[in-house]
Amino acid sequence: GGGGEDETQEEGAAGGAANTHVVATHYNELKEAGRKDRQKSKIFFMRNFNNWIKSQLINEYMAQIKQQKRVGDALRVLDMCCGKGGDLLKWEKASISHLICTDIAEVSIEQCQRRYQDILRRAENSKFSNKFTAEFFACDSTLVRLRERYKDPSLQLNLVSCQFAFHYCFESLAQADCMMRNAAECLKPGGFFIATIPDAYEIIRRLKAAGPETRRFGNDVYSIEFDCETDPLPLFGAKYQFHLEGVVDCPEFLVHFPTLVKLGRKYGLQLIRRSTFSEYYKETLPKGRQLLQRMSGLETVQAQRYGSDEQFSHIRNFPATQRGRPLGTLSKSEWEAATLYLVCAFKKCKNSWDA
Ligand code: SAM
């Protein structure tokens, strides 16, 4: 949108970021589904599961930040590529004091801001809600130095979160470098950068398993199709078309993990966690079981009402009690889509030597 998109197109002409405006347009045109439609979706349980993973990740690093800080210290967060503000309630629950929200899609940012205002209104009427200040702006994080858009460019962040979006910057080295600098440069030493991204190793493993001449794989909820030469794969611009039932249909890029780690180090970020969703699920389930039940349990019952509908037969096939199936009754297809991702966390060091 707006400035971001124009800048993107200029850069695209110069051979840098030809795909960012495609991505922005895609997200700008996404309709916001109502609760009913979301419940009918084939990826209803996967969305709950992804939300739970994000909550676990945010809570894990927020807890560490809270241990370090003194009473009365502000807690500031950057939600980079925040979308429509799907994590706003998580920030409210984490009792932060200030939030910066940015995304390339202007329409999403507007929705995010409206949601924030709803939260504020609710907070005014409740003694249990936590009020926090926030700022919002639309821009391309792979192209623009975010700190120059902050109300206070000298502000120090405790946490930077980039959920399901960092991979868009792996179109080129210049974009990845810019995005990593944005993630790192305002973080306080001891602060964290957390992200969820597709797991390139897993994607390539599935591509190879699909057969030697195959460029496409997936199931009834997701598909991945490669545009580029996959042997050998380039470090940047390893482009594929990602389709996720009713939500995503746009170009993405493989994240070469060692390169991500190297870029992080350049900006003083030290890798402290890399776990696939499947590993993270197993690791955090003992602590997060109740939350997962809350996030999907009640809604399971509601969604099962749609079970008579042909389209939702997969839900009946995987009842909540079935053994070996993740809580929240993801269908096999949803589980395959969810396990395409990994979580990673970096700690900000005093300087790049320490990282
Ligand atoms: N983080 C949100 C969440 O977890 O709900 C949204 C995730 S959505 C899958 C990916 C988001 O990344 C979209 O809102 C999209 O507009 C944003 N995005 C993609 N490329 C971007 C870029 N270059 N700069 C800023 N935002 C970008």
Nearest ligand 1 atom to the CA of 175 is: 23
130 is in an annotated binding site: no
pLDDT band per the 50, 70, 90 thresholds, residue 26: confident
Q: Say whether 227 sits in a helix, a strand or coil.
A: coil
Q: Report d(CA 107, CA 104) in Å as an integer.
A: 9
ipTM: 0.99
pLDDT band per the 50, 70, 90 thresholds, residue 315: very low
201-243 tens-digit pLDDT: 999 999 999 998 889 999 999 999 998 777 889 999 999 999 9
Q: Report d(CA 34, CA 50) in Å as an integer.
A: 18
The highest-confidence range among 35-39, 129-133, 290-294, by mean pLDDT, is 129-133
**Beta carbon of 106 within 6 Å of any ligand 1 atom:** no
Q: Residue 346: which of 262, 284, 279 has the closest Cα? A: 262
The DSSP string of 264-280 is HHHTTEEEEEEEEHHHH
Q: Residue 58: which of 297, 291, 340, 337 has the closest Cα? A: 291
Residue 9 pLDDT exceeds 60:
no
**Beta carbon of 168 within 6 Å of any ligand 1 atom:** yes
219 is in an annotated binding site: no
**Beta carbon of 137 within 6 Å of any ligand 1 atom:** no
Where residue 93 falls (left for φ over 0; alpha for ψ -120 to 50; beta otherwise) is alpha
pLDDT band per the 50, 70, 90 thresholds, residue 314: very low
CATH number (3.40.30.10, 3.40.50.150, 2.40.50.140, 3.40.50.2300) of 2-253+261-284+333-348 reads: 3.40.50.150
Residue 137 pLDDT exceeds 70:
yes
Q: What's the gap in Å between 143 CA and the centre of ligand 1?
A: 14
Four-residue CA torsion sign, 139, 141, 145, 148: positive
**Least reliable range by pLDDT among 71-75, 129-133, 277-281, 319-323:** 319-323
Question: Which pLDDT does position 227 carry in this prediction?
Answer: 81
Q: Say whether 151 sits in a helix, a strand or coil.
A: coil
- The better pLDDT of the pair 20, 307 is held by 20
Question: Which pLDDT does position 328 carry in this prediction?
Answer: 58
Question: Which pLDDT does position 325 carry in this prediction?
Answer: 54
Question: Which pLDDT does position 220 carry in this prediction?
Answer: 94
Give Rg (Cα) of the chain.
Answer: 20
Residue 307 pLDDT exceeds 50:
no
Residue 285 pLDDT exceeds 70:
yes
**Beta carbon of 142 within 6 Å of any ligand 1 atom:** yes
Q: Angle between the 277-292 and 44-68 helix axes, to the nearest 10 degrees?
A: 90
**Beta carbon of 268 within 6 Å of any ligand 1 atom:** no
Q: What's the gap in Å between 261 CA and the centre of ligand 1?
A: 21
**Beta carbon of 50 within 6 Å of any ligand 1 atom:** no
Whether the CB-CB separation of 168 and 206 falls below 8 Å is answered with no
Tokens standing for 223?
Answer: 């598909």
Residue 67 pLDDT exceeds 80:
yes
Whether the CB-CB separation of 88 and 163 falls below 8 Å is answered with no
Q: What's the gap in Å between 111 CA and the centre of ligand 1?
A: 13
Q: Report d(CA 72, CA 77) in Å as an integer.
A: 16
Distance of CA 21 to the CA centre of its chain: 19
Distance of CA 342 to the CA centre of its chain: 10
**Beta carbon of 218 within 6 Å of any ligand 1 atom:** no
Q: What mean pLDDT comes out for the span 59-77?
A: 94
9 is in an annotated binding site: no
Sheet containing 157-163: give its strands across: 133-138, 98-103, 76-80, 157-163, 187-198, 341-348, 269-276
